[in-house]
Amino acid sequence: MRASLVAVAAAAALAVLFVPGASATGRQCPHQWAEGWQVLANKVQAPVYCPTWMPNPLDAKIGGQYQDIYSIGKDRSYLVSFLEHGDLGSGDVHVNFRGYPGRLSVPKCPAPVGHGTTPCFSNPVAHLSANGIHATVYQVNQGADQWHILLAWHYRGTLYAVSEHVIPPYRFSTQVRRNLSLLLESLVLVRPHS
């Protein structure tokens, strides 16, 4: 019995130590971006992941010059995207952040052919681990994540995803996966204020 208690205590300690995104380095959501992510966390009443690194030239300031979609559903799921249209030939850089509070399964999207549905994220091709997060790499994605490589993972009963478009200047999926790996490494949790 004592051994079990010790084991439970040890597991609890590990859980505290390895909260995904709660960086041991003490990294925080950058000051200029923090307010927007905090507002988002408060609105969806769930932790959200704020990046501390973004692919050039994007930043992750909600309400800033690169913010594109900002959408919160009735089910508290959210999509926040950042986009640079390189109209002068520099190419597009497009990153999406998603969260589905209270949901673990991959959501369904309209099927590209016929009347059914299809998983919004499919063709898992690899796993990536960084920053205490164990993410699955999905190669075929729907909706706003079409033509994107996407990472998805769970944290405390919520499904999270971050994706980036495969398009110049990040022309190859290997480049995008490298960016996503850096993004994963950079994420920090922002908890809702009660």
Q: Which is nearer to another protein, 23 or 173 (CB)?
A: 173
**Binding span for another protein by CB under 8 A among 44-52, 72-80, 91-99, 111-119:** 111-119
Q: From the CB of 172, what's the least distance to another protein, in Å?
A: 6
Tell me the two tokens of residue 42.
Answer: 């408060």
**Distance in angstroms (rounded) separating the CA atoms of residues 80 and 20:** 20
| Residue 7 host element (H or E) | helix 2-17
| 181 contributes a contact to another protein by CB under 8 A | no
- Within residues 143-172, the interface with another protein by CB under 8 A covers 146-149, 166, 171-172
| 123 contributes a contact to another protein by CB under 8 A | yes
Q: Which is nearer to another protein, 156 or 178 (CB)?
A: 178
Other beta carbons within 10 angstroms of residue 37's beta carbon come to 23
**Total residues at interface with another protein (CB under 8 A):** 18
- Exactly one of 173, 181, 185, 192 binds another protein (CB under 8 A); that residue is 173
Question: What is the Cα 48 distance to its own chain's centre?
Answer: 8
CA angle 73, 77, 82 (to 5 degrees): 95
| 114 contributes a contact to another protein by CB under 8 A | yes
**Distance in angstroms (rounded) separating the CA atoms of residues 53 and 179:** 9
- Exactly one of 2, 112, 193, 194 binds another protein (CB under 8 A); that residue is 112
| 26 contributes a contact to another protein by CB under 8 A | no
The CA-to-CA distance between both ends of the chain, in Å, stands at 36
Helices (H), 18-84: 31-44
Contact set with another protein (CB under 8 A): 112-115, 118, 122-123, 139-140, 146-149, 166, 171-174
